[in-house]
A and B are shown apart, each in its own frame.
Chain A
Amino acid sequence: MGTIIDEDQALVAAAVKGSEQAWIDLVVRYESRIYNQALRLTGNSADALDLMQEVFIGIYKNLHRFRGESKFSSWVFRIVHNKSIDLARRWRPPVELKSSEEPDQLAKIPSTASDEPDEQIAQEQTNAQVQVLLGQLPIEQRLVVELKLFQSQTFEEISISQDISENTAKTRFYSALKKLKDLLEKNHAMP
Chain B
Amino acid sequence: MQCPESVRCLSAYILDELVPSEREAFKNHVLGCAQCSAELASFESVKTALNSWDDEALPVSAVAHRERIRNLAKPLTKQEKASRLSPFNWWQWAPSALSFAVLVLVFMDASFLVAEDGFSVSFGGLKNDASVVQMVDREELQQVIARLEQRQDQNNIALMQAVLNQTRESSEANFQQLFAFFDQQRLNDLEQVRASYDQLAESDFETLRSLQQLASYVSFNEIVR
Q: Which of A52, A130, A170, A181 contacts B43 (CB 8 A)?
A: A181
What's the tally of chain B residues with a CB closer than 8 Å to chain A? Answer: 35
Cα distance, A145 to B15, chains bound together (Å): 12
The answer to whether A24 and B15 touch across the interface, beta carbons within 8 angstroms, is no
Residues in B with CB closer than 8 Å to A181 are 42-43, 45-46
Taking the complex as formed, is B3 at the interface, i.e. its CB lies under 8 A from any CB of chain A?
no
**A168 at the binding interface (Cβ < 8 Å):** no
Q: Is the CB of B15 within 8 A of A170?
A: yes
A64–B73 Cα distance when bound, in Å, is 13
Check if B52 is an interface residue, CB within 8 A of chain A: yes
Q: In the complex, how many angstroms separate the beta carbon of A21 from the nearest chain B beta carbon? A: 9
Stretch at the interface among B64-72, B91-99, B105-113, B157-165: B64-72
Cβ contact within 8 Å between A64 and B117: yes
Number of A interface residues, CB 8 Å? 47
Binary per-residue interface labels of chain A (131-167) against chain B in the complex, 1 for a CB within 8 Å, 0 otherwise:
0011000000000010001100001000000000000
Contact among B43, B45, B56, B72 with A56 in the assembled complex (CB-CB below 8 Å): B72
Contact partner of A184 (CB less than 8 A), chosen from B11, B42, B52, B55, is: B42
A191 within 8 A of B: no
Q: Chain A residues with Cβ under 8 A from B53's Cβ?
A: 36, 40, 126-127, 130, 150
> Taking A20-B75, A39-B56, A123-B56 as contacts, is the C-beta distance between A53 and B14 under 8 angstroms?
no
The answer to whether A184 touches B49, judged by C-beta atoms less than 8 angstroms apart, is yes
Q: List 11 A-B contacts (CB under 8 A).
A: A35-B58, A40-B53, A49-B62, A52-B69, A64-B117, A65-B117, A126-B52, A129-B49, A170-B17, A174-B14, A174-B15
Shortest 4 CB-CB distances between A and B: which pairs?
Answer: A23-B73, A56-B69, A60-B72, A20-B73
